[in-house]
Amino acid sequence: MKFEELQQKLKDGGVVGAGGAGFPSYAKLNKNADTILLNCAECEPLLQPHRQLLRSHADEILAGLHMVAETVGAKQAIIGIKKSYEHAIAAVEKEIGKYPEMKIHYLQEVYPMGDEVILIYECTGRVVRPGGLPIEQGCIVYNVETMYNIYRAAVEDKPVTFKYLTIIGEVSKPITVPVSVGCSFKSVVDLAGELTCEDPVYFVGGPMMGRIQPHDGRVTKTTNAILVLPQDHPLVMKKRRKSKIDLARAASICCQCETCTDLCSRHALGHPIDPARFMRSASNADFQDLNPFLNTNFCSQCGICELYACPQDLAPRTLIGEYKAGLRAKGIKPPVVEAVPVKPSREFRKVPEDRLKARLGLSKYDLPAPLDDELQPEETVRILLRQHIGAPAVPIVKVGDHVEYRQMVAKAPDGLGVAMHASLPGVVTDVNDTFIRIRKE
């Protein structure tokens, strides 16, 4: 397929990163890439959609990976996958012989292996500079579901209208399932059987980097999981703490052990993020050296410092995130720096996933969540116009219009962005600057 043709198909098909910030997939394509990486690390604990999807659709996913590599002229395609995903590995091994440029790289069971900067180093030995992009190291990274969506959009002309996600936690039947983009979280949780606690909290996106969301919140193209937790779970209580209190606690009880920095995944790669120095400066309002604050731009927000490393139960990730957002709001750009050499201690300071789940109080939820590949029916969807990095999609329908399944309802904006499509057939009941609501007829 020609480069420009593939770009246009992905833009029109609404393909964005199926997780994280949702970077438009067409914008990642680059003829300077020599390596395409398929990310099957399931970065967050308990999440299972990528391994399940790869197990069931390895033929389409590897065909899509080959197509991307061939289109940009990449010399190799590497499938990064954890050793324990045996069924997914077996499915890949049945198909990989068709593609001489592909190979499997087995990943350790550590967190945050799904961070694309970490994945690139593990699979290629290349270090992406602080604040840099993977393409600077000749790499393009797509996760498994994104590659599946690329194949469907480019080969089958099917836009993104549903999302795979895992529902796990306080439910009787943990499950991984495709659901319509724009459906409510509650309708998704109902697919996982009975609730096993009263008044549950929906932790959406994973236990480390996810957020508490209302039950009537909506599934987007980046939703990977809903973790159903009781109100008194430590993760819920930590997430609800006030930053002002967290800062005061840091000023009073931080023991300067620097464990947060020692275990920081990006710091170990030579990036200048230093949670310990930041906490010392922020909690004491010490602005003589601005570097600890400016370097918050290089934090990946993986949460190791806050949810695993700190022996005092402080909140460096949360406070760093607030400073980082404040700098961005003020238009202050990250400083241009180079990474220092990877620290030799890195291999001995990786965070084992089993230990992490135990520390988070999640071990009892570490259960199979098998894939039910049948798309569940919905009566109403609310399709957000901004589900990705870039500008929101522009509505091209009005209230009262009848739409078909997969019909484009919002076109890609000028600049960075993608189109949106109807995830069910029906009538448009609301159109505004934020979303389009469709009711099934």
Q: How is 12-74 classified by DSSP, letter by letter? A: HTT-B-SSTT--BGGGG--TT-SEEEEEE---STT--HHHHHHHH-HHHHHHHHHHHHHHHT-
pLDDT band, very low/low/confident/very high, at 53 (cuts 50, 70, 90): very high
Question: Average pLDDT of 48-77?
Answer: 98
How confident is the model over 344-361, as a mean pLDDT?
96
Q: Which residue has the tokens 């393409």?
A: 135
Fold held by 379-441: OB fold (Dihydrolipoamide Acetyltransferase, E2P) (2.40.50)
Average pLDDT over residues 291-320: 96
Residue 43 above 90 pLDDT?
A: no
Using the predicted structure, report yes or no on whether residue 111 has a pLDDT greater than 90.
Answer: yes
What's the pLDDT score for residue 27?
A: 98
Given this model, what pLDDT does residue 376 score?
87
pLDDT of 65 above 90: yes
Mean pLDDT of 358-384: 96
Q: For residues 46 and 367, what is the distance between their CA atoms, to the nearest angstrom?
A: 8
State mean pLDDT over 365-385: 96
In the chain the first and final C-alpha atoms are separated, in Å, by 38
Q: Is 433 helix (H, G, I), strand (E, B) or coil?
A: coil
Q: Of all residues in the chain, what percent carry a pLDDT higher than 70?
A: 100
Question: pLDDT of 376-415, one tens digit each?
Answer: 889 999 999 999 999 999 999 999 999 999 999 999 999 9
Where do runs of H (alpha helix) occur along 49-190?
Answer: 49-56, 58-72, 86-95, 116-124, 144-155, 185-189
pLDDT tens column, 196-243: 999 999 999 999 999 999 999 999 999 999 999 999 999 999 999 999
Other Cβ atoms closer than 10 A to 103: 12
pLDDT of residue 441: 85
What's the burial of 348, exposed, middle or buried (CB within 10 Å: 0-12/13-18/19+)?
exposed
Q: What is the mean pLDDT of the chain?
A: 96
Provide CATH 2.40.50 ranges for the chain.
379-441
Structure confidence at residue 57 (pLDDT): 98
18, 145 contact by CB (below 8 A): yes
Give the mean pLDDT of 66-76.
98
Q: Is the pLDDT of residue 106 over 90?
A: yes
Q: What's domain 3-155's architecture? A: 3-Layer(aba) Sandwich (3.40)
| Two tokens, residue 224 | 């990977």
Write out the residue limits of the CATH 3.40.50.11540 domain(s) in the chain. Answer: 3-155
Stretch 150-157: mean pLDDT:
98
